[in-house]
Amino acid sequence: KQPNIRIQWEKAHAAQTDRLIEWCKTHEAARKKLFSDSMQDAQEEGRSKQQLCHGKNDIYVEIAKVIFSAGDESVKIHALAQDNLGIFAGPIQSHLDVLKQKYRKYITLLGQTGAGQTYDDLVSNTSTKNIIDSIQKEFPWWGDLHSWWRTNPAYNSTWSGADSGQNFAARAVGLFK
């Protein structure tokens, strides 16, 4: 039986979350598969939607290599990482769930219109900049998560495809031409 491990991710251990986010930034294809790529993003970028062919555990093992080989974690964790990276799949998945919950909590502060805007638009807008600044003081990974999740309803249920500036009638007519 595999040992049940508890990983600390915040405060003194925030570097582990930093490494998780950094891994996701540098492994775009795996990140899109891990977080269920948005069909809208794929269409806007002129590419096909990325789907997971293998289990997420394979991705979690790759992430664990980066997070737990840095040497700043406990001797016990480091030893476990040397022997069996697979035991970290559960804690990584749980932490991603926690990040999702926190992201959702903060996204509601922006309302429907703000929730669908890009991070750059939000920080350059005088009416949302202070909100973003206060979010990032408490949750520094919010900007990266928002860039990945803002149009994905699995993560951002506040966002509405009916935000102002979209012409769905014209888009629908274009589909039937």
Q: Look at residue 3 and tell me if it is in a domain.
A: no
Total domain count, the chain: 1
Q: Look at residue 49 and tell me if it is in a domain.
A: yes
- 125-150 pLDDT per residue, tens: 998 999 999 999 999 999 999 999 98
Q: Look at residue 5 and tell me if it is in a domain.
A: no
Q: Which domain holds residue 64?
A: 11-163
- Per-residue pLDDT at 26 exceeds 90: yes
Measure Cα distances from 151 to 67, 109, 118, 147, 148 in Å.
Answer: 27, 16, 9, 9, 8
Q: Look at residue 51 and tell me if it is in a domain.
A: yes
The secondary structure of 75-127 as a DSSP string is HHHHHHHHH-GGGGHHHHHHHHHHHHHHHHHHHGGGHHHHHTS-HHHHHHSHH
Compute the mean pLDDT over every residue in the chain, rounded to the nearest whole number.
80
Q: Look at residue 174 and tell me if it is in a domain.
A: no
Q: How far apart are CA 91 and CA 4, in angstroms?
A: 9
**With contact defined as beta carbons under 8 Å apart, do 68 and 77 qualify?**
yes
pLDDT score for 128? 92
Comparison of pLDDT for 71 and 33, the residue scoring more:
33
Q: Look at residue 6 and tell me if it is in a domain.
A: no
Q: Look at residue 171 and tell me if it is in a domain.
A: no
Q: Is 64 exposed, middle or buried (0-12, 13-18, 19+ CB in 10 A)?
A: buried
Q: Look at residue 46 and tell me if it is in a domain.
A: yes
pTM of the predicted model as reported, rounded to 2 decimal places: 0.77
